[in-house]
């Protein structure tokens, strides 16, 4: 286990959400599942926690009840090499969720993601400040980021 693990608190959908995330990411694995026994807040046999990995990043999901909810103040950024990758993650994760601006989206479980082409940072930090500004302006007008349009800017 990594030294820092992202822990996601779900009401009762941890198992469903992890199944969804594992289906979206190419390098994904469920590592461990623990279930409620005779004691605890959950029904006996129901999932309590699930540890899993998405593209090498460790996560823990917990069915902790309705006490907490997700906020866009915390998001997970996916660095994409190609437009096909951007399209894959954007289309899969936004299905049933809510697309946002500049590559941000909230999935159907309320978790926020940023689907970002790797080249974006390079384009936004171009030596020519006018070019960098055009890229930034183009990005601000997009929901799903389009690499060709960003390069064209």
Is 127's pLDDT higher than 60? yes
Cross-strand bridge partners of residue 47 = 35
Question: Over 90: is that where the pLDDT of 12 sits?
Answer: yes
User: Phi/psi of residue 96, each to 5°?
Assistant: 80, 0
Q: Are 113 and 77 in contact (CB under 8 A)?
A: yes
pLDDT digits (tens, 9 = 90+) for 48-69: 999 999 999 999 999 999 999 9
Predicted pLDDT of residue 33: 97
Q: What is the pLDDT of residue 45?
A: 87
Q: Is the pLDDT of residue 25 over 90?
A: yes
CATH class of 75-152: alpha beta
Is CATH 3.30.720.100 correct for 6-63?
yes
State the CB neighbour count (10 A cutoff) for residue 35.
16
Ranges of each domain in the chain: 6-63, 75-152
């Amino acid at each position: 286990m990594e030294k820092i693990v992202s822990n996601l608190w779900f009401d009762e959908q941890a198992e469903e959400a992890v199944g969804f995330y594992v289906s979206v990411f190419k390098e994904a694995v469920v590592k461990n599942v623990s279930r409620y026994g005779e004691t605890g807040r959950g029904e006996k046999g129901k999932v309590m926690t699930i540890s899993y990995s998405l593209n090498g990043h460790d996560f823990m999901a917990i069915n902790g009840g309705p006490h907490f909810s997700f906020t866009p103040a915390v998001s997970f950024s996916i660095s994409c090499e190609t437009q096909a990758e951007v399209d894959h993650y954007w289309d899969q994760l936004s299905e049933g969720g809510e697309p946002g601006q500049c590559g941000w989206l909230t999935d159907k479980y309320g978790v926020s993601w940023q689907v970002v082409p790797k080249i974006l940072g390079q384009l936004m930090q171009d030596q020519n400040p006018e070019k960098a500004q055009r890229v930034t302006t183009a990005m601000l007008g997009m929901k799903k980021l389009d690499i060709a349009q960003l390069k064209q800017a």
